Amino acid sequence: MNGTEGPFFYVPMSNATGIVKSPYEYPQYYLVAPWAYAMLGAYMFFLIIIGFPINFLTLYVTIEHKKLRTPLNYILLNLAVADLLMVFGGFTTTVYTSMHGYFVFGRLGCNLEAFFATFGGINSLWCLVVLSIERWIVVCKPMSNFRFGENHAIMGVAFTWVMALACTVPPLVGWSRYIPEGMQCSCGIDYYTRAEGFNNESFVIYMFTVHFLIPLFIITFCYGRLVCTVKEAAAAQQESETTQRAEREVTRMVIIMFIGYLVAWLPYASVAWYIFTHQGSEFGPVFMTLPAFFAKSSSCFNPIIYVCMNKQFRHCMITTLCCGKNPFEEEEGASTTASKTEASSVSSSSVSPA
């Protein structure tokens, strides 16, 4: 084995020289130089100062403006909550541990940090699944006279939490486990070992199948059907130009959110699967650290995409920040009015037969 396995940890370095020590008790500067830990801490601090304000603002603006309280926005609001859980539960912890060069909070802290970081990521993915199904129902109209309403949105939010908990609770109760990974100052699922009594293999297969491949299949199917339907509707001019434009804009926004999620999480998932299928092979601490920490940047993607692509939300946000007045009102007025219902009436409108 090219790593050192200990009680609830796996350090990616052979202990032939005897220098490997517990990442819960000693700095891990023998893995990488201290400046690398400082850079890691600075990066996580950057994500906090970007991720917290923009996700909190998303919550506040949506609650403050009644016209934003629509079924579709409930799901987007849930995304912001998931991202804030990542920021508070995971990022703040990692900034502190990076400053010390090891996971100073012990096993309990490791479990909590990994739980919140994993919960946020899985919850976000299932949110994107619900959004893709909502877009498919609204645009493709597979069910006659179906209205995606508030109750459906609430059930969708509850579903994302149930699925996220179904992925993150098992390692806390003995089906797999959370351990320090990469540079040993943040924690995640144990892809690295076949530790006796934890059934890591079955959990990793379950996680990749149920919480990665199945969601990707559902999203791909929904958007595949959706793209075909939008093209057909545009060619046949079945709906008004305003409705078509609104549906296209909302759909484009949700698809870009999905692409952003893939960009952030696919490298991490790929590396994790490689490590799982090549246990015992040689790899350095940075090999897992880079994709793991890049994945955390997803907490900033969704609200930025939402602000950039949703005129109504952008208008409300600027109004909130400028104490009730929008200095760009004249410039955005026409376009905001025209597409004002792009994320509300489109998702909550009655769906008649095609």
Backbone angles phi, psi at 303, to 5 degrees: -65, -35
Using a 10 angstrom Cβ sphere, with 0-12 exposed, 13-18 middle and 19 or more buried, the burial of residue 236 is: exposed
Per the CB < 8 A criterion, the answer to whether 294 and 46 are in contact is: no
CB atoms within 10 A of CB 323: 6
Using a 10 angstrom Cβ sphere, with 0-12 exposed, 13-18 middle and 19 or more buried, the burial of residue 160 is: buried
Residues contacting residue 325 through CB under 8 Å, at least 6 positions apart? 319
Per the CB < 8 A criterion, the answer to whether 318 and 273 are in contact is: no
Q: Which of 258, 339, 297, 323 is nearest to 55 (CA)?
A: 297
Per the CB < 8 A criterion, the answer to whether 103 and 194 are in contact is: no
**Alpha-helix runs per DSSP H in 68-105:** 71-86, 92-100
Ligand-binding annotation for 279, yes or no, is yes
Residues contacting residue 96 through CB under 8 Å, at least 6 positions apart? 104, 105
CA-to-CA distance for 56 and 50, rounded, in angstroms?
A: 10
Structure tokens at 130: 């619900």
**Cα separation values, 38 from 22, 45, 52, 87, 97, Å:** 20, 11, 21, 18, 10
CA-to-CA distance for 304 and 180, rounded, in angstroms?
A: 30
CA-to-CA distance for 14 and 138, rounded, in angstroms?
A: 55
Ligand-binding annotation for 282, yes or no, is no
Using a 10 angstrom Cβ sphere, with 0-12 exposed, 13-18 middle and 19 or more buried, the burial of residue 151 is: exposed
Task: Please report, in range form, the residues annotated as the binding site for Zn(2+).
Answer: 201, 279
Task: Please report, in range form, the residues annotated as the binding site.
Answer: 201, 279
